[in-house]
Structures are given as C-alpha cells and as structure tokens.
Structure 1
C-alpha cells in the first residue's frame, strides 16, 4: 500500500465528544412495520440458512407457529447498525470502523407487523495508542430497542474505533492488498465444510437442545462461510433496512461532515434532504464513508488494504452462530464481542465455540457460557466473544 510522507501533527482531538456523552439522541424508526421478507433478506445476507427465518411452512410447525426474526435482526431495524451513539461528536480528519458490541436480550421476539423504536445514548470514550493509527479513540454508545408497545427487548452497547485516516495510511499496518487465490479444489472443500454447521441446525430442527445434555468442554460445530466478495458485502449492506430509500424517519444527528470525516468520505450518507433530490448520494454504497467497504480505492484511502465487510455483520454472525446451535427453544441472553479485524474480500470466515461453564442465574434460567472465536483461513483472529445462552432443562 502506498504511504504518505510522515505526518508532523500526530494528535487526535476528541474534545468535542464531551458535549454529547450521556445525552439522548433523536430516536429512530422505520416508516413501515416489519415484514417476513425483511427477515428472509437478513438471513440471506448474513449467510444464515436457518429455515425458521425464511421457510414459512417449516416455521409454522415450530415453536412460534410462523416466521420469526433472527435475534441478530435487531440491528437491521435500527439506525447506523449501532454506531451512531458511539460515533457522535467531531474528531477532525477522522474515520470510523466498528470495534465490537455487547448485547443483552430480554425475551420478546420480532414478528411481521412489529415496529422497532431505536433509542441512542452516547456512553463514554477513551484514547489509546495503536499500531494501526497511533492515537485512537474507542468510543461507546448505548442502543435501546423497543417494540411498538414500549417493551424493551434488546440493548446494545457498541464500540466504535475512531482514528486519523492519514496516520493509518502512513503506518500501513494492513498491507495485504491482493485477494487469496483459491483453486477449484479448495473452493469445493470450502463448500463441503459449510455443510457441517448447516446440517447441525437442520438435524436439531424443532427439537430441544437440553441444558442437562451438554457439558463443559463440548465443542460447537464449526461454521464456515465465504469467500467474501464485493458482492457479498453489498448484499450485507442492502439488508440493513436504514439503507432503503425513503424507508426511515431520517435525522441529521450523524452528519459525516459534522463528525469530522475527512474529504471525500464526508458525503451525504443518510441525509434526509439530499435523499429527496438524488438518493444515490445518500445510501452509503456509492457516496460517503461506507463506500470504503466496496471500493479498493476508498478502502485504501482510510487505511484498509482492500474491500472489507461490516463490523456489525460480524456481530450478527456471532449471534446467529450461537442461536443456530441453541435451536428455536434456546435463547442468547447476553453476548460480548470484540472485533480484531474485518472480513476482507477473498477471505473465508471460520467460527468455533466451546462451552466453558454451566449455571443457573437469579431468574432460574439454565444457562451455558460459550467462548467463541472467528478467524480467517490463515488463522488470523477476526473476533472473539463470550456469551450466555439459555437452554431448556
């Protein structure tokens, strides 16, 4: 990757963030109720072939009697995939990537006809030195998700990584600019490996995975998907419902220019005024900070070697992995994930998990604690997570 001349000023000005911490932002909601096709589109984009979320006949015979949204779908029905309260405030000449999130789920599920109200409250921030971009701001924000009747059904504390894009380019810590070159035989092997997790989900079907029948040290089936591509990243982006033209009650809380995004990355993404003039300028795939995911030129402009996936999607992959193993009678009650690096174009993703504890909580729920890891084909860690999953006794 080409680098600039050494940057003289190496400071990161985060002073404006103090003006926002703890202050609620404008709530967000979609204009229409949720539809079964929203769940299907999400499952498809997240590589999650669980019949419970896309096959109506199968779902009708199960616990819910109809299609139900994946637990991970919550993030699709909100604004900015949870990054808004973790990215508010001006940091001059900066860019943002997703660094992790912690989820709490409170029981209610989403079905067609529901509507989600997304509440956003900036939480805190800290500046640390990193090999990626020198002084780097780790900012957190709370996202509370309510159903139309006011029921709080999920909370997400997201972490964004805000950094000087010129320092990231100068330091050039990520330098693998070329996609892996997979042979036909390797691709065929990847396809066969994908079936291990898929078949485990199908074999459990509508059955119960009982708490009594699992033990500390048990390994979850390995989940493999990919290779990732610009096409798969674009499919992810289009499954986030905020990207649909005219589909949301927009606001200008997270105007990229006001947040300090630099130069051509400070476009009109999600701008409610420009959306009525030329919506292609606002949907993030073509103009604005999100296009770094889809175009090599703009990925390298912000310090990435080549197109890369969305951090929020990695969080969804983790929740789907846990929920798919637990089955429709199980439930992810808490998951804390840290993202080490994105899914780059050409890479595959390999998920593993292990039960590390069994417990009964103060509500009498039977829980297993699972440590999960996400890595690419070279063994490079992409994310780690610790989660508590409820199973029937």
Structure 2
C-alpha cells in the first residue's frame, strides 16, 4: 500500500526566520533589460530601443516592472522553499506583487531581503498531500528604496505520487502539431497586441477613458519550446556562471530534493571548479523544464515553463496596456498549471472596477486569465493599475 503522507514537521523551525539575501555582483545594464524583454516575449521599445526610450517621460531606457525577480537567485522562491520535506520536489504556485514607486535603471544594484511566512498542507489531484508554502521578498535598490515586495507561493510535493497519479490518465507526452497556416495566423495574432503598444506610444491611457466592462487586448505567445524556455532561463542572472553572489546556506538534499533532482545547482564552490554541474539547466532540480525525461520523473508529461516567467508575462501584459504613464501597483497571481512545450499561451483581462485610493491614486482593477489553445487555465490574477488623469 502506497504511503500517502508528506512530512512537513521541520518547516516550523524556519517560519519567520530570514534567509540569506539575494545579492547582485554588478549593477544592471541596459543590455540586461534587452535580454529580459526578449526572453519574455515583450517587445515594448521603452525597454530595448534607446532612441525611443530617450523620447519617453524617463529620458532613458527603463526596466520593465517585471525585472526585479531576474536578480533573485531562486525566482523569488527562496523564502518559500525552506525546511526539510523528505523525497520532495517543487513547482510554483503563485506570486503576489506590490510595487512601491521607484523604477529601475541602468546602474542600479538590487538586493532582496527574504523571510519565510507560513505553509499549509492540502490534498490535490496532482500529487495527493501537497504543501503550499509562502515567503516574502523585499527588493531594495542601492539607495535603500523599496522597489517591490513579492509574496511567493511554492508547491512542494512527492514526485512518486505525482508520477503515479499522472500515469492513470496522462496522454500529454507529445507536443501538439501546428501546421504552417496555423503558425502564420498565430504571428498575426501576436502582432495585434504589439500594434497596441505602438499605437499608444508615448501617449497616455487616461483613467477617465477606461470603463468597467472594458476588455484588454488579447496577448498570444508561443508555441513554447525547449528553445524558448532555455532563452527565458538564461535571462535570470543567477543562471549565468558567477552571475550573482551565491548563497552559502543552500543544500538541495537538505530540502529533501532527492536522486537526479537534487544536484548541486548554485553551489558556490563547485561553480568555480566545474560550473556546468551547477547552473541548473543541465544538472539539478531545474532541468525538468528542459529535458522531458526529467520532467516525467517529477510528474510532468513533457518540458514545461517557469512559474516566474508566467508571472512576468502577466505583469508585462498589464504594464504594456497601461503605457509608460501608467503603473501596476498590485497583482495577485495564482498558477494553476505550467505551459508545456508545443502549447501557446493566451492572455485576456477585463476591467471590473475603478477607484481612487487613500493615496489619491486613480486605479482600475482588472481580472486576468491565462489559457492554452485548448482553453485549459494556467493562471488567473487580480490586479490594480494606476492610470493618469486628464
């Protein structure tokens, strides 16, 4: 008889205890912004075209609001993945973001103060007993300004149970096939959203002109592939050899990651001796994203995308619609399932409320949804966006 327990008793020893901060080695450069938006499929010229950006309200290139997580050494899950859970693995469950006003420019150095918050164990169809663990990230610049706060939810589970439950009814091991006509149509659909960015340009999307019930333009990205996921992976600073200052308190085996998925990802000593053993793409717990063989070991049918990238897609979608004079102040995202290779991602949102908050900011609230080509929901979100007034 299969043991259906998940031992989370060690987690109580870590709640509320800060872990080592995430620290950059060098300041951000404009090329980091370009690499990030290209990897996240976000062609907003503010973030990659210097000539265009110099004509903007900022007078220079500015980072997208989604960028802070790129400097972290764990996609924001560092404080939501502490404590020993035997024979376990991890996927992303969601992110809640608060943005406090300061923007990120070339020359800025961010650090991230990180504190575990809480956890709860629930029974899921995915893997039986599953731990939903949360932790907070506080991103500061070199001046001590708080840029953003991220509350990350990690889903920790037993891969053996996930494999067993997936094998009962999983027919998703093969990528869907897109013919040339379908691919051409997808490119047209993608460009419709890009044209929205161009049409707004340096203009303002006024709060008075947005009404409850309005729908935001649809954004399509994909089909996803091992190549696109690899490009996303390399846009995070920690995935590059000596890209960030490594933690000295990180041990995958001590977290309960086992077998092929433990590895020595981000090990600061081994990185200097044999870095290909430590960067996560080839060996360690992150390689399930890029190698179907290891994806299946943790209960996934084939290569799958990164939760933090899904979070960036959402923030970029909202910020792109708001324009350079708008600002996403808060977003609460729940990840229902990953994007798999061969799938496309379709993003939509509707305006559900308008308000003026206690700080006098004119906000619209939107409900967001992300689905694949079959209509399967991969993420939902609720967000508040500040817009300029006439």
TM bin (shorter chain): over 0.9
Deviation at 1:110, TM superposition (A): 0.3
- Of residues 270, 280, 283, the one that matches 2:279 is 283
Matched, 1:185 2:181: yes
* Structure-2 separation of matches of 1:255 and 1:228: 31
| SS of residue in 2 equivalent to 1:170 | helix
Partner of 1:120: 114
Deviation at 1:174, TM superposition (A): 4.6
- Of residues 218, 227, 235, the one that matches 2:223 is 227
- Of residues 297, 306, 312, the one that matches 1:310 is 306
Partner of 1:4: none
| SS of residue in 1 equivalent to 2:89 | strand
* Structure-2 separation of matches of 1:383 and 1:51: 26
Q: What is the alpha-carbon root mean square deviation over aligned residues?
A: 0.8
* Structure-2 separation of matches of 1:90 and 1:236: 29
- Of residues 136, 144, 155, the one that matches 1:150 is 144
What is the CA deviation profile of residues 140-159 of structure 1, one whole-angstrom value per residue up to 9, with x for unaligned ones?
Answer: 00000000111111000000
* Structure-1 separation of matches of 2:191 and 2:286: 32
Q: Which runs of 4+ in 1 moved over 6 A?
A: none
Partner of 2:62: 68
- Of residues 77, 88, 110, the one that matches 1:83 is 77
* Structure-2 separation of matches of 1:118 and 1:73: 13
What is the CA deviation profile of residues 166-202 of structure 1, one whole-angstrom value per residue up to 9, with x for unaligned ones?
Answer: 0000111654001001111101110100011100011
How does the TM-score come out when normalised to structure 1?
Answer: 0.98
* Structure-1 separation of matches of 2:139 and 2:129: 32
Moved more, 369-378 or 173-182: 173-182
Query: Which aligned pairs between 1:1-393 and structure 2 lie closer than 5 A?
Result: 8-172=2-166, 174-393=170-389
Structure 2 portions without partners, runs of 5+: none
Deviation at 1:253, TM superposition (A): 3.0
Equivalent pair of 1:93/1:165 in contact (CA under 8 Å): yes
How does the TM-score come out when normalised to structure 2?
Answer: 0.98
Partner of 1:3: none
Equivalent pair of 1:79/1:118 in contact (CA under 8 Å): no
Deviation at 1:206, TM superposition (A): 0.3
Moved more, 166-175 or 197-206: 166-175
What is the CA deviation profile of residues 233-267 of structure 1, one whole-angstrom value per residue up to 9, with x for unaligned ones?
Answer: 00000000111111211113332111100211000
What is the CA deviation profile of residues 316-337 of structure 1, one whole-angstrom value per residue up to 9, with x for unaligned ones?
Answer: 0000000000000000000000
* Structure-2 separation of matches of 1:255 and 1:362: 44
What is the CA deviation profile of residues 53-97 of structure 1, one whole-angstrom value per residue up to 9, with x for unaligned ones?
Answer: 000000000010000000000110112010110011110000000
| SS of residue in 1 equivalent to 2:232 | helix
* Structure-2 separation of matches of 1:31 and 1:174: 43
Equivalent pair of 1:84/1:254 in contact (CA under 8 Å): no
Deviation at 1:276, TM superposition (A): 0.7
Deviation at 1:9, TM superposition (A): 1.3
| SS of residue in 2 equivalent to 1:338 | strand
* Structure-1 separation of matches of 2:36 and 2:121: 34
| SS of residue in 1 equivalent to 2:234 | helix
